[in-house]
Amino acid sequence: MATAFDGKGLAALVLAAGKGTRMRSEKPKVLHTLLDVSMLGYVYDALDAIPPETLLTVIGHGSEQVKNTFPQRESGFILQTRQLGTGHALQTAWKQLEERAPETVLVVNGDTPLISTASLIALVDTFRADQADLAFLTVSLNDAGAYGRVVRNADDSVAAIIEAKDYDEILHGPENGEINAGIYALRMSAIKPLLELLSDDNASGEFYITDLIALGVERGLKVRAVRGGQDLSLLGVNSPAELVAAEDLLRQRIVNAHLNNGVIIRQPAQAIIGPKVILEPGCELAGPCELIGDCSVAAGASIGPNVWIKDSHIGTGSIIKPFSHLEEARVDRDCQIGPYARLRPQAVVEDQARVGNFVEMKKAILHQGAKASHLTYLGDAEVGAGANIGAGTITCNYDGVNKHRTVIGEKAFIGSNTALVAPVTIGKGAVVGAGSVITKNVEPETLAITRSKQKSLPWPKK
């Protein structure tokens, strides 16, 4: 039986200060998203599952954006005012690390969204078992690209990491495809003397954390390069192409996990499911579809093709028909939504209620068994149980300054092409005639009609 990992004496340092020029965006690289979650968010999730005693993050480019995205992490942010490389980031954070007095520092790049907790724990376990001073993860690739190359000695021990711009086969030997994943375990007491030895005498004019390997080897420290095979989840994201490739890999993992857990996903290659989405075994999805954010779909529910859902909850037995769009909505048991329905934030559809084609709800409640079947807008509204809303009905909730509520009682019937000018209340069991503009409350069990008398007038012949 596996034992829980001991995070005692462990600090984690996330490097998230870089601009990421190859992303061609002013947004900090670590805030670019995969399945609606930022790269940095994934790294935090992996670290939180360890967890370390201390978690610090070096930020720089777009620091205010990072702070605003993760306000709960602000006490652990360290500002790198000039982005002079990963080695400089470690130097910038060193004082605050020393204040926490950890034995070991786990250094992770903020642009490694696919990194798993298991991989991080495996690195630290190997580091501890070997009583190493420095250990890092490596990946073997057919094309090393822009990643730092791992140079090994004849006895397979590590000699150095050479950045791609500085690699010279004459000096360093032929490439073997082994690259540095940028994830390190460092013994504080052993690494401190090396920090001041880092140099920016290289093609980029930056201080590289990778130079600690050669410096450590030269001074007889115990340095370990831990092979991660061809595990692409260890790699960082440096370009739009790498971002979407990583996102698709993550999407495949999530879809396969749900399939193996008893969820039916038709056209799975076209299903996009976020990492926080909860799908109960026995529910069914049809691609193409997209479910992101804080979503849940109960057993027995069905999501049709071309449906987009974010931060919404779908109850047992409910059917979301094609081309519907739900955001921050709640759909209870045995409901039918769509096709072409739009549920905006704070839309609530209670048991057995129906929302039909081209119906839009926003901050509105359809109570049990109520129906809005066609071409209707319900904003800031409450519709009683069993009420029926005719085609073309709108709640006029905005007077140009303020929003107002419309309340429709149980079993009321609203005729087609009716405008309900809020604030207004339609009583229980009331009937509103088609084509009416209602500006005053309607009493229960009454008929309300507001339209001019129909007239027939002569029409001039041509």
What is the tens place of the pLDDT at every residue in 83-119? 899 999 999 999 999 999 889 999 999 999 999 999 9
Provide mean pLDDT across the span 168-188: 83
pLDDT of res. 1: 38
Q: What percent of the chain has pLDDT over 90?
A: 75
pLDDT of res. 2: 47
86 is in an annotated binding site: yes
pLDDT of res. 167: 78
> Do 363 and 380 touch, CB atoms closer than 8 A?
yes
- How does DSSP classify residue 402? -
Q: How confident is the model at residue 459 (pLDDT cuts 50, 70, 90)?
A: confident
Q: Map residue 208 onto helix, strand or coil.
A: coil
306 is in an annotated binding site: no
| Residue from 68, 69, 96 nearest 80 by CA | 96
pLDDT of res. 456: 86
80 is in an annotated binding site: yes
Each residue of 389-415: pLDDT tens digit? Answer: 999 999 999 999 999 999 999 999 999
Each residue of 258-291: pLDDT tens digit? Answer: 999 999 999 999 999 999 999 999 999 999 999 9
| Residue from 364, 388, 355, 359 nearest 375 by CA | 359
Cα 91 from Cα 191, distance rounded (Å): 11
pLDDT of res. 462: 67
Token digits of residue 28: 């900090």
pLDDT of res. 155: 83
Dihedral sign of CA atoms 64, 67, 69, 71 in order: negative
Cis? peptide before 288, omega within 30° of 0: yes
CATH 3.20.20.70 describes domain 10-234: no
16 is in an annotated binding site: yes
pLDDT of res. 3: 57
Q: How confident is the model at residue 147 (pLDDT cuts 50, 70, 90)?
A: confident
**Where do the CATH 3.90.550.10 domains begin and end in the chain?**
10-234
Q: How confident is the model at residue 144 (pLDDT cuts 50, 70, 90)?
A: low
Model's pTM, two decimal places?
0.87
Each residue of 189-225: pLDDT tens digit? Answer: 999 999 989 988 888 888 989 889 889 989 999 999 8
**Where do the CATH 2.160.10.10 domains begin and end in the chain?**
257-448
Please identify, in words, the CATH class of the domain defined by 257-448: mainly beta
238 is in an annotated binding site: yes
Tell me which residues are annotated as active site.
374
Residue 146 has pLDDT above 80, yes or no: no
Angle CA(134)–CA(139)–CA(141) in degrees, nearest 5? Answer: 150
Q: Give the H/E segment covering residue 428.
A: none
pLDDT of res. 307: 98
Q: How many CA atoms lie within 13 A of 228 on its CB side?
A: 26
357 is in an annotated binding site: no
